Structure 1
Amino acid sequence: MVKARSQTPYQLLIADDDSGFRDVLKEVLAPYFQLFEAESGEQAIELVEQTHVDIVLLDMHMDILTGLEAVRILKQINALLPCILITADATDELRQDASAADAYEVLSKPVKRQELVTTVSHALVETYQDPNVPFWLGN
């Protein structure tokens, strides 16, 4: 069983090659998390290998490794790590591929603040059995 961690901030990694979109996500999530940033799937993998991360948000379309390819590798490193893909083209095929790779969810850009917060909150509650997450995450 994974221990609840409500007493310390969860560590969230944002992986997106668009610094402007990373900034938008940081603005929404910074009050609740210790944040890490990656500009690529490769950098995200390196960070997860070197640093404890509780949850990852990944853009689907990045150079070299796509978000989906990065999820597959991240799940080999830590099978329990919740990974949420964010994309402008959330097709049924992508959703099926993401599900097969054990991604937690696929969100469509532009992602609404409430949808982002709710999805991250649910991922943390389900993964870490922390019932306090919805309260401190503003749900």
Structure 2
Amino acid sequence: MAKILIVDDAKFMRMTLSNILRKANHEIVGEGENGQEAVELYRTLKPDVVTLDITMPIMNGLEAVKAIKREDENAKIIMCSAMGQQKMVVEAIEAGAIDFIVKPFEESRVIEAVNRALM
């Protein structure tokens, strides 16, 4: 069981991810709505894995990946993106994200990404 932080500006997306991950016996330790919250919650909660949306207000997912990786180079971050955001996904991977999942979420792919992150 992993401790997971879910960050997405859309409550529905957080709920969807949360339900998928809870079914797979993971613990959701926190939820955030923007990149700034992601960085603050990461600091406080020290989750095993973070799922981060790319497009968010205040601080986007790309900036949040960089900020979290500056504080903890071993942070395991999975990006969540809508179709057509490939360029930003590539930048996020280059910045230190370890994987990405595409919306709408496919349950098996989400679980596979998290399990791979934990290896």
Asked whether the two chains share a fold, i.e. TM above 0.5, the reply is yes
Aligned equivalent of 1:57: 51
Aligned equivalent of 1:44: 38
Q: Following TM superposition, by how much is the alpha carbon of 1:90 offset from its aligned partner in structure 2, in angstroms? A: 4.6
Runs of 4+, deviation exceeding 4 Å: none
Aligned equivalent of 1:67: 61
Aligned equivalent of 1:34: 27
- Equivalences for residues 1-139 of structure 1 within 5 A: 9-31=1-23, 32-35=25-28, 36-125=30-119
> Any unmatched runs of 5+ in structure 1?
1-8, 126-139
Q: Specify whether residues 76 and 90 from structure 1 end up closer, same or farther in structure 2 by C-alpha distance, changes over 3 A only.
A: farther
Query: How far apart, CA to CA, are the structure 1 residues paired with 2:11 and 2:86?
Result: 27
Aligned CA RMSD, in angstroms, stands at 1.3
Larger radius of gyration: 1
| Greater helix fraction, Structure 1 or Structure 2 | 2
Q: Following TM superposition, by how much is the alpha carbon of 1:103 offset from its aligned partner in structure 2, in angstroms? A: 0.6
Q: Is the 8 A contact 1:10 1:33 kept in 2?
A: yes
Q: Which amino acid aligns with 2:38?
A: A
> Identity over the aligned pairs, expressed in percent?
30
Query: How far apart, CA to CA, are the structure 2 residues paired with 1:124 and 1:117?
Result: 11
Query: How far apart, CA to CA, are the structure 1 residues paired with 2:112 and 2:14?
Result: 18
Q: Specify whether residues 12 and 90 from structure 1 end up closer, same or farther in structure 2 by C-alpha distance, changes over 3 A only.
A: farther
Q: After superposition, what is the alpha-carbon deviation per residue over 1:75-123, rounded to whole angstroms, capped at 9, x for unaligned?
A: 1111111101111135442232122101111221112100110011011
Q: Is the 8 A contact 1:98 1:105 kept in 2?
A: no
Q: Specify whether residues 27 and 92 from structure 1 end up closer, same or farther in structure 2 by C-alpha distance, changes over 3 A only.
A: closer
Q: Specify whether residues 61 and 122 from structure 1 end up closer, same or farther in structure 2 by C-alpha distance, changes over 3 A only.
A: same
Q: What's the TM-score once normalised by structure 1's chain length?
A: 0.78
The count of corresponding residues between Structure 1 and Structure 2 is 117
